[in-house]
Structure 1
């Protein structure tokens, strides 16, 4: 009896020693969702391709630009976000002339917000006013540029519905989109901009040489990320509400917005919907809730100024249009060389400011020196190849289609065993004390 107990204990320890992560007190659990395309996939832990390409893009974006140029660029985007949030929440623009003489945005007015949403948006608006104040304290003397809320959001959301030429939201759906109409329309509009600020500010921290300004911009990035999480939660609670005039749910509309943004910043996947149905890219919890867009390691994404300009002007080569009818002020005002790939790790482009595109692991090859870490314990369990393919370029992979919890891809899920007594009475526990899940059995 004692021998069999020791053998069983050693077998359990052998399993737990090779299974990661270790979660004490929770019995035998399926890891299930934390996996990418395959061992050579776009988020392979051993290659860190996401960050490598963010570095490449950042170094290329830095070409010929000073810290003050970057602060001036920030003025444009913080005026856009801050004025939209302030007008929509409070019904007026910046106090104390933070605009430095800039005009009132086209279509600016107070949004019809419920008591359940207004307090959260008041905090966001005050934070965004603070972001605009930071740009002034950091040395920006440029006024806020002309901004168009009415035309901007109608063109932006129209692009998310693939409207081109003379087709408009009004001609297709019978009425224009009003970003101030109600909770759903306003939150969708706010978040469509908020996450550009979050990823863009994070990307700027690597471009700045002044540590004081870089530290402040890091604060902008973390603040914007927290604000976006609040907005995602508010939208998640309303995800099944219908959005006027599209006659689609909040979840579906934001899936389109996410797909649009992702299509305009290069081929890398760095945008996600409210519901993540594609477990090849990030960890997928029950019900596919996705409050914090990250890669499979929980790292948030970065964008360069040129990528943001390309998104905010819908690919306008001169950086004019959509939200900025007269363009952005300052030296960083175009998506210059957006589709040109620059190495960044070994040399700068010969001329101009060029933004790198995300490369595949095959194109990147082996990264040099300290950027190539040793093998990660449990890595193979975290990178399972999946049956079938999904089109990463569509809204469907960002939660447009509701999929029941536990689907898809559980047939080849990874598992993890932990040192905790088996729970009795489980339908998954067999008569001989083993536990089976996803085709694998632990003893």
Structure 2
């Protein structure tokens, strides 16, 4: 590969990336309708098994989009002081579009250059996930959901009280920011893993697997950084893990779906089962965590709930 070819292969624009994906997908709806030309205002024809599968796939991706909105807003606010609007990414769509509740001037004053670079990279990744999912869903007859209202202030105050840190502000410094990030990252990995059996379209499944891989890289990085900060950070991360585990609402005797970054006094960078396979969370278990209570329909990070059908 020549240097010029290498540059071209690594500078794929979001639009060309979307076109490539759509060409590979071929169609989502029925009757051979191309995704790029699928009618947006027409009612579904008589339901068929394929239509039902397509709607389920779209619901799974829209559920993921709700979560990606949360992660993108968190990382963008911490690294740039602005959210998706500042990244020139749309937030409109099906459902009720909401604002982001966050303190004034949330940009973190990073003191470690490497940590700032990691945070910037993750922010770009999460924004790209939002853009990608919106473009793919927006090209279909099923459409993308709007960004729901997201709370990045009161939610962390509540969680801080649970882990013994009153007035917890994830944007106050880089350590707090890493702890805030830890709340999301493992949930994202287990959510994509849990959703994988629900996706019927192989191209969608491949894309979701790719996003899961990126989220796993993020989670491993956050866990490694926190472990390296010493006992205090490790204890707080493990307390967060315990809160998440309590919200999984697992039956008595069932395996725990969450693990801290320190287990049996040694590092635990990869939370996994005895076969070193990442855990899966059901949709309900993910909702329990982001809503802050078992069987809740809204709350914590999403005061008004998520948008769209929940697959």
- TM-score tier, shorter chain, comes to 0.7 to 0.9
1:293-344 per-residue CA deviation (whole Å, 9 max, x = no partner) reads 1112211111122110011112253421111111111111xxxxxxxxxxxx
Secondary structure, aligned partner of 1:138: helix
- Structure 1 stretches of 5 or more lacking a match? 1-61, 162-168, 241-248, 278-286, 333-352, 354-443
Q: Which 4+ runs in 1 deviate beyond 3 A?
A: 62-65, 101-104
Larger radius of gyration: 1
**Residue of structure 2 equivalent to 1:74:** 64
Please state whether the residue corresponding to 1:66 is helix, strand or coil: helix
2:79 to 89, 93, 104: 89
Spell out, residue by residue over 1:262-319, the C-alpha distance to the aligned partner (whole angstroms, 9 max, x if none): 1111323121111111xxxxxxxxx611111111221111112211001111225342
Unaligned runs of 5+ in 2: 1-51, 138-142
Q: TM-score, normalized by length of structure 2?
A: 0.73
- In structure 1, the residue matched to 2:108 is 111
Secondary structure in structure 2 of the residue aligned to 1:92: coil
Q: Which residue of 2 aligns with 1:234?
A: 225
Q: What does 1:18-417 align with in structure 2 at a 5 Å threshold?
A: 66-94=56-84, 95-100=87-92, 102-107=97-102, 109-114=106-111, 115-139=113-137, 140-161=143-164, 173=166, 176-240=167-231, 249-267=232-250, 268-277=255-264, 288-315=266-293, 317-332=295-310
State the distance in 1 between where 2:89 and 2:115 align. Answer: 27
How far is the alpha carbon of 1:64 from its aligned partner?
12
Asked whether the equivalents of residues 299 and 305 of structure 2 are also in contact (C-alpha less than 8 Å), the reply is yes
What is the CA-CA distance between 1:63 and the residue it aligns to? 11
Would the aligned equivalents of 1:239 and 1:251 in 2 still touch at CA under 8 Å?
Answer: yes
Root-mean-square deviation (Å): 2.2
Q: Which has the higher contact order (CA 8 A, sep 6+)?
A: 1
CA deviations on 1:363-420 (whole Å, 9 max, x unpaired) are: xxxxxxxxxxxxxxxxxxxxxxxxxxxxxxxxxxxxxxxxxxxxxxxxxxxxxxxxxx
Cα distance in 1 between the residues matched to 2:297 and 2:163: 19
> What is the alpha-carbon distance in structure 1 between the residues aligned to residue 280 and residue 55 of structure 2?
18
Aligned length: 243
